[in-house]
Amino acid sequence: MKTKINKNALEQARALTLPTREASLNRETSVSHFWNSNRNLLENTWAEWEIENKGNILIPDEKLLDPRLRKAINEAWENPEKENAVADLWEEIIPGVYSAQFFDLERLAEFRKYLEAVVNSKIPKRAPYGIQLNRYGMMLDPRSEGHLTAPNFQAFYNEIMDRYMRPVSRLLLDTYGYDNQTFGFSIQYNPDKDKDLHAHTDASAATLNININLPEEEFTGSQVDFHDKTTGKTVQTIFEPGKAILHRGNVPHATHPIISGQRSNLVVWLYGDHMKIPRGGSSSYGSVNNSESKDIKREKITPRQRWSLPEDPKDTAAPF
C-alpha cells in the first residue's frame, strides 16, 4: 500500500502552472480564479520561504532608508512640530512634484539581494499587467491578487506607507482625506522590453516612485517628463540610485525610452476609500469614481493630524 506524500507549501506553489500572459492581459476570469483559489497556499508559501531562508536573507526594515530622512521622520512622529525638518529634505521640481534621497546607498545592495532572492524563489507572483510594464515587476499590496505576501516584506512595506509616505504626502501635497488606502508594485525598464511609458496620470492622490538601482548599475535614456500645468512647461528629470520622486497623481508624466542598462523602481500610491482622489485627478490606469471624488472642505490641518494613522480599515478596491 502506497503512502500518500503531502508536499509542503513551497513544493505545491512551485508546481503551479501560471496563467498565460495573454490570459492575464485579457483579464480572463480564469486568471482571477487562479490567484484567489491559491491565495492561502501562496501566503503559507512565502511564510515558509522566510523560515527556510532565515539567516540567509535580509529582514527589511527602516534601517535601509536614508539616515537623514529616517532621523527627521522619527523626530516628527515624536513631535509633529518638527515636521519642517522633513520638508527641508525634499527638493521641489515643479509644483506638486518633489525629490529626495530615500534609500541609504550603503545598504541598498542588501535590499536588492533580498529582491533577487524573491525573484529566484520560483514562487508564483503576479506581474503588474494593468500597465505597460508587465514582465519583470510584481504586485506588493495585499489588495492585489498574487502579491508578495512575505511577512517581513509586508511589515517593511506598511512601515514605508504609514510612517513615511502618508505624512510626507500630507505635508507636501495636502492629501489629507484622500490617503487611507495603499497600493504598490515594482517595475523594470529594459531596452528590449518595457522600455518606456507614454504620457499619463495616476489613479492616486499621491505617487512615490523610488529608484532601487545600485550606483554601479548605470543606464542611459529613461528620463522622466513632468508637465507643469500652471506654466505649460515640461520639466525633465533623471532617477538616481536610491532617489524617490513624490508627486500628485494628477500631474501628467511620461518616461523616455531606455537606451542601455536597466532601471528598477518601486512605485507606491495613496488614495481615498473606494479609490477616491481629489477632484481633477483623472487617470489612464484603473477606474476612478470621479462622481465621488469631490473635494472635501479644506479645513486647516494640524501637524498632529498629519502625523497620525487612519482609523478606518483598508478596503479591497484596486486600480489594477
Model confidence pLDDT, tens digit, residues 68-115:
999 999 999 999 999 999 999 999 999 999 999 999 999 999 999 999
**What is the structure's pLDDT at 26?**
87
Band of residue 246 on the pLDDT scale cut at 50, 70, 90: very high
Q: For residues 237 and 264, what is the distance between their CA atoms, to the nearest angstrom?
A: 16
Residue 31 and residue 23 in contact, taking contact as beta carbons nearer than 8 Å: yes
- Return the sign of the alpha-carbon dihedral for residues 217, 114, 270, 204: positive
- Which of 5-9, 17-21, 116-120, 302-306 shows the lowest mean pLDDT across its residues? 5-9
Q: For residues 279 and 164, what is the distance between their CA atoms, to the nearest angstrom?
A: 24
- Is residue 221 within a helix (H) or strand (E), and if so which, with residue range? strand 220-221
- Neighbouring CB atoms inside 10 A of 28's CB total 14
At residue 42, does pLDDT exceed 50? yes
- Which of 18-27, 152-161, 243-252 shows the lowest mean pLDDT across its residues? 18-27
DSSP 97-154: EEEEE-B-TTTHHHHHHHHHHHHTT-------TTSS--SS--B-STTSTT----HHHH
At residue 130, does pLDDT exceed 80? no
| Residue boundaries of the structural domains of the chain | 9-306
Superfamily for the 9-306 domain: q2cbj1_9rhob like domain (2.60.120.620)
Residue 215 and residue 107 in contact, taking contact as beta carbons nearer than 8 Å: no
**What is the structure's pLDDT at 292?**
40
**What is the structure's pLDDT at 299?**
63
Look up residue 96 and give its three cell numbers. Answer: 506638486
Q: Tell me which residue of 39, 182, 248 sits closest to 124, measured CA to CA.
A: 39
Rounded to two decimals, what is the model's pTM? 0.91
Reading phi first (left if > 0) and then psi (alpha if -120 to 50, else beta), residue 94 is in beta
